[in-house]
Structure 1
Amino acid sequence: MSGAVTGTTSDAPATERLPSLWRNRAFNLLWTGQCLSDTGSAMADLALPLLVFQLTGSPEQAGFVGTVGFAVTMACRLPAGVLVDRFDRRRLMIVCDVARVVVFTLLACAIEAGRAHLVVILAVVAASAAATALFSTAEHAAVRSLVRPDQIVTAVARNEARAYGTSLAGPPLGGLLFGLGRALPFFGNAVTFLLSLVAVSCIRRPLQQPRPPAAAAGAASASSAASSAVSSAAPAGTGGGGAGRQGLRFVLGNPFLRALLVIAAPLNMAFTGMIFSMTISLRRSGLSPALVGVVGMVVAVGGLLGAVTAPALQRRLRLPTLIMVICWSAAALMALSVLLSASIATAVPLAAAVFLGPTANAALFGYQAAVTPDHLQGRVVSLLLLAATSAAALAPALAGVLLAHVAGRTAMLVFPLLVAVAALVATFGSGIRSMSRHP
């Protein structure tokens, strides 16, 4: 095993002294704060289109608000990676939380005062999306500094469980609060960001390794990351291509990260597209909206259970084997879900496929955190997130076009085929087969 994988970096003595994950105060503070703020964000994500529709009566304007948020997030993703690698990550996260507390408090006050015009809402959405893009990139990059190398995959799996759990709890709570008062979900969201701010402020461990002087960046890279990773990173650190291109060079120069880039995009597009297609197909078949919602909840519960069991699954198989088994199994389960797409039974194989998703994410992104030098974490994470989330965002549009012009089941087969593409890359590409068992 190379040094990059075994954790023999310059910060190894510090990481060896870290406690078990459940006793790791710094990680648990960050995780708990994000549980709260993610729940608040899920509340606001449900309440925002409801608010716009209530104010304007226009579904187009309600949808436009969500599009603006996505566009700002994508535009900020790569600059966020550069900032996360250049500045103190804790301070950046605190600034982001302060900004989100302020804008959502102002929005709630504007609603109470009857001044929540569309321009105000768009400004809040844009500011929040920019802050969230920066915060989430910093959080992903910080995990490597907060846990031991052998805990990274488990830490990523816990973050996956958090995401599924808050996506289940947030929307119902947001709907309840919106029914009680239009401003309440946004006041609540501001409170959750305030609690996140307190949690991040209480973290005493550094969230990144010390940054070496620019003149010595190449040498410092070689001492702070192990052999195989640094051989790719050093030219990026010393070249003249600009900070934003250093992460791209590192990703393209590393076989595993290249494979991850190719695998993550079709997987995310396939899962998002299948869930959207299933919803439309069930409504076409005459299933009531309430039952469609139940089906969606079953799928989400599958993801939550998958995130909880991901560390145990990861320990039982070698990482390359695990990724190949997951990809091929997900492709088969999605194909079965397509065959059952006219009935509520379609939720069962799709939930089983979603159950496997967190394990794949934990293994892939956990390994990414282990093999990427700390001074490039932000840029590498931002590139991978940009590829994955962009593909997922395009999935509903692709599914809509296919369902409108191609017979239902034939249209939906596109998404199992996308997973099969990821499975082929995992099976025959050298990047995934190069993964070691313990990052």
Structure 2
Amino acid sequence: MVVGAGVVGAACAYYACLFGLDVTVVDRGPVAGGTTGAGEGNLLVSDKEPGPELQLALLSTQLWRDLPTSLPARVEYERKGGLVVASTEAGLAALRDFAAGQQRAGVEAAEVPADRLADLEPHLAHGLAGGFHYPQDAQVQPALAAAHLLRATALEGKEDGGDRGRLTLRLGEEVTAVLTGSGGAVRGVRTPRGDLRAPHVVNATGTWGGRLARLAGVELPVLPRRGFVLVTEPLPRVVRHKVYSADYVADVASGSAALQTSAVVEGTPAGPVLIGASRERVGFDPTLSVEVLRRLATQATRLFPALAEVRAIRAYAGFRPYLPDHLPAIGPDPRVPGLLHACGHEGAGIGLAPATGLLIAAMLTGREPPLDVTPFAPERFTGKADEKVRDT
């Protein structure tokens, strides 16, 4: 059983069914009704330093390309590449050092001198020191990605007739308890409509991953990190790549609770330009911040002066599932046999979803994971809670 119908939960269900397991996905709301639906759809390697998360991102990059050919077209998959720019020579030198480490880890990155930036982005501001092009960066429409992963899972399970598992989707059912047997092992979940039995429960509830963990009697310190996205009116393709300033990399790695904003600008196949990114820890407060939107607009127009004459038609907020060490929790929780976690991806959940789903499916079926899962072990966080419901 997978709790959570966002893109991570959908990917867990997809690969688990592919490996022959029957899967029930349960969510208190609709598909992509939480963090996934408020995301930009980034599939990035450019913002990740060498280490476990980058290896997870590289695996996911390949998986996004290898998903059935019918899927990417429906989810607006676009391998448009990323462009990271620096305004000073010192900033460019820092980007150069950062890219060198990434290249040794398997990332494709090429330096772009100042006089060639316009070849990639004709509308980019003049006077920048240079940048780096990352051709592996891509984008999907996140809500479509979650929906079509689940749709493909359901259709393939029905039509294949072979070893694939079957999908059951239960939306609008909030999990109120995790059921365990006398030995403490998971036996399913409880919802207002009754008990759902399963030998394994996958916690793919994103920002609410800590809540579900507490229902199972363990602590997982997932916290919400609010961010806003500003959306322009539809335009001709003014922005060709995902373009962001060097400051964005530092903001992603920061653990500060204070407000941080750094320009991230990208076009979409439908025409609107998406402008981010902001980060702040304010709990689950969804209040619109005019100051944040003003900062985002100002920083975006510094990168693309032509946007100063463009209308912003809407803005929306979302909550990234933040864990203190900036790594997701992926895998079985030894404190509660049968409980697995697949949450805490912060702002990278869309991009990391396929690799996360593949790892979870491998662990559920006793297969060798394609990479070392030790850094993502949920038990690296300690603590115990009391909210466990015994299965009677």
TM-score category, normalised to shorter length: under 0.3
Structure (1/2) with the larger helix percentage: 1
TM-score, normalised to structure 1's length? Answer: 0.24
